């Protein structure tokens, strides 16, 4: 039998858990879940070597370990720092972390085009989620944003370099999943860009997974571009017998029409693991060429995180509150900040909206 795994005790945001030695702070925090897990834009637990670049996952280490309880002088990237026994980590309980994270979000958005209204990733974009949570309404950047031409890199994928946050995930996946990596990072600093250098086509068998790991809308599915907004689609788990990959996918349907096929993603936006622990990557054939429901055996609708816009209109997870708000408040009635009838000139109490025969017009109120 294998030796028993050594367990380390770590405290993250005052919650103490035990994790195996060698776990990173980020993965430990994900075990706790919820807000305690730092956001990750570049780290992808299924890609070796990823992480450390975007700096959104910075956390404060208030005590290094039981043996050496000194705090670490700088914030550390939780995705690349392993836990020590007795480590005390502060994520959202640290003002320093929140401040640094706001800074990182601002930096990430500095050159981002914010073209969410016309971006296919909208609704399932990590950067969008991140900026809702930590971003500011306005930008302090007064200069022209970085611009790149759109580029088709191969028959299936389009690259919108302006949206890229240089997380390097797509290069790792090309290294680790496809036979040869056809693209990489060209130039440095602000001018760094994803490129195939001499416009080579990327059409390796598993290259489509690049689209799934891209946290933003920089790599998009050319067979799906502008066809639908993701929140109008219904995700379904489905499978087929495929000799190249596991064949376990998510279909994104509207009615009977399959709009796109992706990997199955877990709550952290990463591809799910199969029973044998391997990530369920899918091949390009399943992704781009099997777009009929008849190609697939449909299993069940996918559960969608309640907070995602994709769950709008899907009421599967809606839970009726067990108690009335008065009961929760100990008999106290909720206090209205303002009684609309008292202050409104138009919405007078003598007009009952449900009694109007059709939708209200201005003159309905002027009685």
Binding stretches for other proteins (CB under 8 A): 51-56, 58, 74-75, 77, 80, 99-100, 103-104, 106-108, 110-111, 140-141, 143, 165-166, 168, 184-185, 187-192
CA–CA separation, 356 vs 292, rounded Å?
Answer: 46
Q: Of residues 19, 28, 47, 54, which one binds ligand FES by CB under 6 A?
A: 54
**Nearer Cβ to ligand SF4, position 52 or 135?**
52
Q: Is the separation of the CB atoms in 159 and 186 below 8 Å?
A: no
Which residues 6+ apart lie within 8 Å of 152 measured at CB? 158, 159, 222
Kindly compute the dihedral angle of the four CA atoms of residues 145, 146, 150, 156, in this order, to the nearest 10 degrees.
Answer: -110
Lookup: tokens for 111: 């050159």
Query: Could you tell which of ligand SF4, other proteins, ligand FES, none binds residue 40, using a CB distance below 5 to 8 A set by kind?
Result: ligand FES
Residue 219 binds which of other proteins, ligand SF4, ligand FES, none (CB < 5-8 A, kind-dependent): ligand SF4
What are 297's strand-pairing partners?
A: 239
Q: Which residues contact ligand SF4 (rule: CB under 6 A)?
A: 164-170, 194, 213-216, 218-219
103 lines the binding site for ligand FES (CB under 6 A): no
Residues 172, 49: contact at Cβ < 8 Å? yes
Token pair belonging to 345: 């000139």
Least distance between ligand FES and beta carbon 106 (Å):
15
CB of 27 to ligand FES, least distance (A): 11
Name 63's Cβ contacts closer than 8 Å, sequence gap at least 6: 69, 70, 71, 86, 87, 88
CA 171 – CA 210 distance, rounded (Å): 8
Does 165 engage in binding with ligand FES (CB under 6 A)?
no
Which distant-in-sequence residues (6+ apart) come within 8 Å of 190 by Cβ? 111, 146
Q: How far apart are CA 245 and CA 268, in angstroms?
A: 22
Classify residue 24 by its DSSP letter.
B
Quick check: 89 binds ligand FES (CB under 6 A)? Answer: no
What is the nearest approach in angstroms of other proteins to the Cβ of residue 268? Answer: 20
**What does the DSSP 8-state code read for residue 265?**
B
CB atoms within 10 A of CB 291: 16
Smallest gap from residue 364 Cβ to ligand FES (A): 54
List the single partner that 43 binds among other proteins, ligand SF4, ligand FES, none, CB under 5 to 8 Å by kind: ligand FES
Candidate residues 56, 94, 131, 162; the one interacting with ligand FES per rule CB under 6 A? 56
Q: Which residue's CB is nearer to other proteins, number 103 or number 269?
A: 103
Binding mask 30-49 for ligand FES (x = CB under 6 A): ----------xxxx------
Alpha-carbon torsion angle 130, 80, 175, 188, nearest 10: 70
Q: Cβ closer to ligand SF4: 151 or 285?
A: 151
Do 75 and 101 meet the contact criterion of CB atoms below 8 Å apart? no
Q: Shortest approach of ligand FES to residue 57 CB, angstroms?
A: 3
Which of ligand SF4, ligand FES, other proteins, none does residue 57 bind (CB under 5 to 8 Å by kind)?
ligand FES
Helix or strand run (H / E) with residue 104:
helix 95-110
Least distance to ligand SF4, CB of residue 35, Å: 24
Residue 110 CB, nearest distance to other proteins (Å)?
A: 4
Min CB(128)–ligand SF4 separation in Å: 13
| β-bridge partners, 76 | 59
List residues binding ligand FES (CB under 6 A). Answer: 40-43, 51-57, 77, 79
């Amino acid at each position: 039998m294998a030796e028993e795994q050594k367990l380390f005790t770590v405290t993250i945001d005052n919650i103490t858990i035990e994790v195996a030695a060698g776990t990173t702070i980020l993965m430990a925090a994900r075990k706790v879940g919820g807000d305690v897990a730092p956001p990750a834009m570049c780290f992808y637990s299924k890609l070796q070597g990823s992480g450390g670049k975007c700096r959104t996952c910075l956390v404060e280490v208030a005590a290094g370990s039981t043996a050496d309880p000194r705090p670490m002088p700088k914030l550390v990237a939780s995705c690349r720092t392993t836990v020590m026994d007795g480590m005390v980590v502060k994520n959202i309980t640290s003002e320093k972390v929140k401040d640094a994270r706001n800074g990182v979000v601002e930096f990430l958005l500095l050159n981002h085009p914010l073209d969410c209204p016309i971006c296919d990733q909208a609704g399932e974009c990590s950067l969008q989620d991140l900026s809702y949570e930590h971003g500011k309404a306005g930008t302090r950047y007064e200069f022209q944003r970085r611009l790149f031409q759109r580029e088709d890199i191969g028959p299936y994928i389009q690259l919108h370099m302006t949206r890229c946050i240089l997380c390097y995930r797509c290069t790792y996946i090309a290294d680790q999943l496809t036979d040869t990596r056809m693209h990489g990072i060209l130039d440095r600093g602000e001018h760094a860009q994803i490129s195939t250098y001499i416009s080579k086509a990327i059409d390796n068998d598993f290259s489509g997974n690049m689209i799934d790991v891209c946290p933003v809308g920089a790599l998009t599915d050319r067979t799906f571009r502008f066809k639908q907004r993701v929140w109008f689609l219904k995700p379904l788990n489905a499978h087929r017998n495929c000799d190249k990959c596991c064949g376990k996918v998510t279909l994104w349907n509207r009615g009977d029409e399959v709009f796109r096929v992706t990997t199955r993603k877990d709550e952290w936006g990463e591809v799910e693991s199969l029973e044998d622990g391997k990530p369920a990557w899918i091949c390009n054939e399943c992704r781009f060429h099997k777009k009929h429901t008849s190609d697939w055996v449909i299993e069940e609708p996918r559960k969608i995180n309640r907070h995602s816009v994709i769950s709008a209109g899907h009421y599967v997870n809606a839970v009726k509150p067990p108690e009335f708000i008065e009961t929760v408040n100990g008999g106290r009635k909720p206090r209205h900040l303002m009684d609309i009838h008292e202050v409104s000139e138009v919405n007078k109490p003598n007009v009952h909206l449900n009694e109007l025969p059709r939708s209200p017009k201005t003159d309905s109120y002027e009685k």
